[in-house]
Amino acid sequence: MLERQNLRITRQRRTILKELRKDYTHPSADQIYDKVRQTIPRISLGTVYRNLEVLCRLGEIQKLKLGRTKKRFDGNSDFHYHMRCLDCNRLDDAALAPLKSIEDEAGAVTDYKVLGHRLEFVGFCPQCSIQS
C-alpha cells in the first residue's frame, strides 16, 4: 500500500502508521510524536508532520480539521462522523450512517459543484457530563 509512487517504507513511516492504526483517540501530531518517540527517540516533529501528510495523500489515514485549530488524525480512513467534547476536547466516532442525499440538497440550493461534506457533533462526553 505504501510502495506505489516512489515512496519508501522507512522505519519512521511504518511506526507512525502503526501507532495511528491502533490508537482510537484521534491523536494530534505532537501526541503521535510522543508515542513514536518511545520507539524512535531521535525522530523529529517535522518528520511526523511530513509522514502524516503523505499518509493522508495515500488515503491511509485522515486529517480532522473541524472545530479547534489543532489538527487531529484518524487511523481509520473510512468515511465517518465524529463527536467532540467541548470540555476536555475528547474525540470519538459517531456511528451514524453517512447522509448521502444531503449533498444533493446542498447542490440544489447553491451554484457549487458539491463534492463532499463534513459533519461534527459537539457536546459533553460521559466524564464531563457528570462534572458539569
- Name every residue whose Cβ is closer than 8 Å to that of residue 43 and which is 6 or more positions away in sequence: 12, 33, 36, 37
Neighbours of 94 (CB within 10 A): 12
Per partner kind, with CB cut-offs from 5 to 8 A, the member of DNA, a copy of itself, none near residue 125 is: a copy of itself
Q: How far apart are CA 32 and CA 35, in angstroms?
A: 5
Of 1, 24, 25, 44, which lies in the binding site for DNA, with binding defined by CB under 7 A? 44
Q: Is 45 in the site for DNA (CB under 7 A)?
A: yes
C-alpha cell at 58: 495515500
Interaction pattern, residues 100-119, with DNA; x per rule: CB under 7 A: --------------------
Q: With contact defined as beta carbons under 8 Å apart, do 91 and 97 qualify?
A: no
Q: How far apart are CA 127 and CA 124, in angstroms?
A: 8
Q: Is 10 in the site for DNA (CB under 7 A)?
A: yes
User: Cβ closer to a copy of itself: 1 or 114?
Assistant: 114
User: Cβ closer to DNA: 10 or 129?
Assistant: 10
Q: Is 103 in the site for a copy of itself (CB under 8 A)?
A: yes
- Burial of 34-65, coded b for 16+ CB within 10 Å and e otherwise, reads ebbeeeeeebeeebbeebbebbeeeebbbebe
Q: Among 5-13, 28-36, 39-47, 111-119, which window interacts with a copy of itself (CB under 8 A)?
A: 111-119
Residues binding a copy of itself: number (CB under 8 A): 39
Footprint on this chain of DNA (rule: CB under 7 A): 3, 6-13, 28-30, 40, 42-47, 49-51, 53-54, 69-71
